[in-house]
Amino acid sequence: MNRRYRKTVIAGNWKMNMTASETKQFAEELKKIMPRAKWCDTLLCVPSCNITTAMKAFKDLRLSVGAENLHYEKSGAYTGEVSASMLKDLGVKYVIVGHSERRQYFCETDQIVNKKVHAALNADISPIICVGESLEQRESGVTEDLIALQVKSALYGVPADKLRRCIIAYEPIWAIGTGKTATAEQAGEVCSLIRAIIRNLYGARVARSVTIQYGGSMNPSNAAELLAQPDIDGGLIGGASLKPEQFVAIINAANQE
């Protein structure tokens, strides 16, 4: 983390978990233990059908509500999809874009990710742009090239003043939901690489202001070590964000003075 130059952001990603009733129950439990997170921003990205419920339930908690996905078109015949303006109208400030599960199961390409990034930014919503390599890609030595391609493609056409609103999340696919975390050094190294890519594209001043998160089995026992890396400015947390006490423990790790 480097709070001098950029925000630390701890974000939960509930994926396809939690009903509206469970969301309310979660908020009740969270209220009892949620710290005043002075040193980091906190948010939970929830299924779109639960956004309104979550907004109401988390109102007193200083916890923003984000979405997990959006469509890139403004409106139209796209049954089942949700547009940026629909999210904006609900008060959403963050949306996850290009999560590896969306790339893998819903065929999202780098071009689609780029269109979604623009759609979010045009609606004043901060995209949390996910990038990351598979185990095969890591083992065959293409991690750096792949991450560069994903980052450059996602940011294609994004001007510097809008880049400040973007968060990049480095999520190695082999670490997601597997309990296998990248070591702090491995994660830190790729997050530094991402900042270097942004520096080449936008210059040093912009690059140092961008929040870069790590995601992939982040939990209370590894969060502090990961967050101690200079280029890891927060986490995108799946499994552990479904348990109030674990989510709070990670927030506490990021909230050290």
Under the binding rule (CB under 6 A), the answer on residue 171 touching ligand PGA is: yes
Residue 208: exposure state from Cβ atoms within 10 A (0-12, 13-18, ≥19): middle
How far is the CA of 32 from the CAs of 18, 35, 45, 225, 248, in angstroms?
A: 19, 9, 20, 26, 11
Under the binding rule (CB under 6 A), the answer on residue 132 touching ligand PGA is: no
Q: Using CB under 6 A, which of 18, 182, 218, 253 touches ligand PGA?
A: 218
Say if residues 233 and 213 touch (Cβ distance below 8 Å): yes
Q: Using CB under 6 A, which of 238, 247, 253, 255 touches ligand PGA?
A: 238
Taking the complex as a whole, the smallest distance from the CB of residue 235 to ligand PGA amounts, in Å, to 8
CA angle 156, 167, 18 (to 5 degrees): 120
Under the binding rule (CB under 6 A), the answer on residue 180 touching ligand PGA is: no
How far is the CA of 254 from the CAs of 65, 158, 190, 219, 223, in angstroms?
A: 19, 29, 20, 12, 8
Stretch of 57-65, 106-114, 131-139, 210-218 lying at the interface with ligand PGA (CB under 6 A) = 210-218
Give the nearer residue to ligand PGA in terms of CB position, either 3 or 180: 180
Is 99 part of the annotated catalytic residue set?
Answer: yes
- Pick the catalytic residue from 99, 101, 108, 133: 99
Going by C-alpha positions, the residue among 174, 187, 251 that lies closest to residue 219 is 251
Q: Using CB under 6 A, which of 239, 244, 248, 255 touches ligand PGA?
A: 239
Taking the complex as a whole, the smallest distance from the CB of residue 203 to ligand PGA amounts, in Å, to 29
Q: Using CB under 6 A, which of 176, 187, 191, 223 touches ligand PGA?
A: 176
CA pair distance 116, 83, nearest whole angstrom: 10
Under the binding rule (CB under 6 A), the answer on residue 216 touching ligand PGA is: yes
Residue 53 host element (H or E): helix 51-57
Q: Using CB under 6 A, which of 65, 147, 237, 250 touches ligand PGA?
A: 237
Tallying the residues shown for the chain, one arrives at 257
* Strand 234-237 with 167-170, pairing: unpaired
Q: Using CB under 6 A, which of 34, 155, 236, 254 touches ligand PGA?
A: 236
Under the binding rule (CB under 6 A), the answer on residue 177 touching ligand PGA is: yes
Under the binding rule (CB under 6 A), the answer on residue 215 touching ligand PGA is: yes
* Coil, helix or strand at residue 40: coil
Q: Which residue's C-beta sits nearest to ligand PGA?
A: 238
Residue at token pair 């980052």: 151
Stretch of 67-75, 160-168, 170-178, 189-197 lying at the interface with ligand PGA (CB under 6 A) = 170-178
Under the binding rule (CB under 6 A), the answer on residue 213 touching ligand PGA is: no
Is 139 part of the annotated catalytic residue set?
Answer: no
Looking at residue 111, its amino acid is: Q
Residues that bind ligand PGA (CB under 6 A): 13, 171, 176-177, 215-218, 236-240
Catalytic residue positions? Answer: 99, 171
